[in-house]
């Protein structure tokens, strides 16, 4: 499969968004993430984390849409999502199916990986 340039761009942008504390951008005071520091997630905390990440993506990353929750790992600190990615070259909103993996580190550092399905 041919590499899609938007995938790397979306990954980098989401990583910047999720590692910017809310209020940390002078140009846009509500840009960024509220604190997410969970050592071991319960199913309810996972749903809450998914909701926080989804709201940020919905608000700041228009290339991703149709976000759905992925698998729940009670031992991990990983929020998995399925989404559709609209590629700049396409005129329709068909989109390319992608997987969005968001890993929360011990000190709140967040790593994002977006891959085509």
**pLDDT tens for residues 11-38?**
999 999 998 888 877 788 888 887 765 5
Provide the whole-model pTM: 0.81
Residue ranges making up the domain that contains 81: 5-19+39-116
Domain containing residue 58: CATH number: 3.10.450
H helices of the chain, in order, are 5-18, 43-60
69 forms beta bridges with 81
State how far the Cα of 45 lies from the Cα of 29, in Å rounded to an integer.
26
User: For residue 33, is it within any domain?
Assistant: no
User: For residue 45, is it within any domain?
Assistant: yes
Query: Total structural domains in the chain?
Result: 1
State how far the Cα of 28 lies from the Cα of 30, in Å rounded to an integer.
6
pLDDT, mean of residues 43-62? 86
80 forms beta bridges with 101
List, in sequence order, every beta strand (DSSP E) within the chain.
64-69, 78-85, 96-104, 110-116
User: For residue 10, is it within any domain?
Assistant: yes
């Amino acid at each position: 499969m041919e590499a899609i340039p938007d995938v790397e761009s979306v990954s980098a942008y989401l990583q910047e968004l999720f590692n910017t504390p809310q209020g940390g951008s002078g140009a846009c005071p509500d840009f960024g993430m509220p604190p997410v520091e969970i050592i071991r997630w319960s199913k309810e905390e996972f749903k809450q984390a998914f909701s926080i990440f989804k709201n940020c993506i919905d608000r700041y990353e228009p290339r991703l849409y149709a976000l759905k929750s992925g698998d729940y790992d009670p031992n991990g600190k990983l929020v998995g999502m399925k989404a559709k990615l609209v590629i700049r070259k396409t005129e329709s909103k068909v989109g390319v199916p992608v997987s969005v993996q968001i890993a929360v580190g011990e000190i709140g550092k967040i790593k994002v990986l977006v891959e085509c399905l």
